[in-house]
Structure 1
Amino acid sequence: MGICWSKSSVSSRHPTSATEAPSRASTASGSDSSSPMQSPELSSLRVSLGTRPKALRRGGDTTLEQHQIQQAAYHMGAYVVGDEVTSPKRLATAGQTVHDVRLLLKHGRGNVKADDIPSYGHNGIGSSVAKMATGGGSSKVARAVVMGAAVCDQQAPLTAMVHAPHMAANEQSVTFEARVPMKEIKDEGNEIPVRTKHTWNELQRISRDPTSTVVMDAWANGPAVRLKDSAWNAEPATKGAWSMDKSRAELLKERIEGLVPLIHPDHDSVTAANLRCRRNAPVSWEKYAESQVISAEFANSVRNALSCVPAPQQREIASRMIQEAYGTDPGSHAHQDAVESVLVAANHLDSLTRPAVVPPEY
């Protein structure tokens, strides 16, 4: 899960996943013509993004991770307000992709204040280097993966590409943009309510139906959610630059996987020069507070509904949501622990956390 590196006859480098990538060719077929030529040494370096369908963790006594707890808590919230999620495994898989993208971009978001200190400032540096990439959108997305940092307009298409193996034949991944309410954080620490442009990815079945469309927003906090329950549903949105069916998403994913080894600063002089430039003269990003993908209105309605549900029934509902999404054994200790965690998260759907930002290796 995340990014896996492997190289023929040598050890892996810089993994962010405990799972080794399957041995397969990963070329830059169809990539931008400005991409550097692949040397024989680099041709044996392979990268795999995201979680393979067969590697999805379901069943048994598996301990649920934070993002899975949040996903099940959202499903519980929808259930108690009388609008049950009808395809829990689909949303759980989308939630896994959102989590994978956050792990890929583990050094943070350039325009989020909370990521500055834990990344030692690399959130802004890496995001700037990604923006400097030439040769089209694919190059910028690949640069974001190499840097481990990005803002929303690279995170959204990356999410679509990473999700490619899990897409159904009738699904489309589409990026959307809107001016949404956020809190800008000034240098002196004051938070100012503003509206600013934001980009996210949506997984659609033919049309932008509020119930079947899934918002996958790795930049914001929270799980994969139905459009109707998202913080962005009320905003007038327009289609962004990216729209892809399964085959197109798979092609772009392969392209990114081929580009990543080639444009690593250890091998590409342009990336290395851009990185030195931004370390010496960092870009001054406008900084925002963390945003939540689940709307405050939905979260409030869930809290109100839960206050009327007896505790034993709440546990039964939480248990059912976990089983439907992840198939864990209800008799296991891991499942019972997950029930308690889901109950807590269900009351805080508009204040969810995300994986901790980590500093770069340099």
Structure 2
Amino acid sequence: MTAVPLGATIPVGAGRDAAAPTAYEGALGGPIVDRFGRVHRDLRVSLTDRCSLRCTYCMPEQGNEWLARESILSVDEIVRVARVAAANGISTFRLTGGEPLLRRDIAEVVGRLAELRTPDGPVRIAMTTNGIRLGDHLPDLIDAGLHRLNISIDTLDRERFRDLTRRDRLADVLEGIEAAARSGLKPLKLNTVAMRGVNEDEIVPLVEYAASLGAQLRFIEQMPLDAGHTWRRESMVTREEILSALATRWRLDPIPGRGGAPAETWLLDGGPASVGVIASVTAPFCGDCDRMRLTADGQIRNCLFSNDEYDLVPRLRGGGSDDDIERVLRAAIAGKLPGHAINDPSFLQPERGMNAIGG
């Protein structure tokens, strides 16, 4: 992984794309657009690399190297980056981790971000969480201005959950999901990583559970983003396999108008219940990607699978201007490749695991 300091030449991206610009020299202001015409509207903001679970597909149970506490961005620093992004058309901020609810100042983060505006109107604040602490935090988060929630749930079986996450916390997750379902946060989405030999037999029951709560279940193909680099393609349940399992129970009617959303969606037997599939490996959607990422330690990433990072810390902590921050955002997007190349033999898995990148 390459960390790109400010004032230095920006590398092309491990040599995969010699046409990429080496620095951003264009005008400031206006939408953040890459050289393939993709307009960026979504910033994923990781608040911490720490998590209350140890999912087998994400990180080892022991021996994890956490980011130093002094490297984690403060609320003021996060809001400053977000303010610059919003001024240039970023309209959705999704808070991720690790587990974002481990931040003691989470309600303050939500509240201050929710006050931001783009040139076209207010921003939207979303969060992805494992749900364990959601019951305690949800009222404050809603009061602060949270708009949407995604909650991870890979199994409804307590023993399987314990084996998969190495923690006996399924009851807490279900409590958080059900609290969210009773709230006014709509749409509520539940995320499931489909894994061969682990939970593929729960594809239908998980959708039935989500539908019973008025939520949408979204299946995610397992991606090469685990900290231990143990991902194997053969262990991944593919988009087609997921759809085949769903078709044994429901008629699937495609919902048009996907736009830049990562999930394809279908109505179940004509609706109103629906299901989504995020097929990053077998059916990449890079051509419509409108996302960029801010890691908990102040690095901008232009792709989940990138091996380059663009360092904001020298500007945030060294007297840089808002224009300097904007230049970093635009330089990162100027260096964005057309796709993640998972299916290319030259693909290299990012050094950071998903918990350190941010979902």
TM bucket, shorter chain: under 0.3
Bigger helix share: 1
TM-score normalized by structure 1? 0.24
Bigger strand share: 2
TM-score normalized by structure 2? 0.25
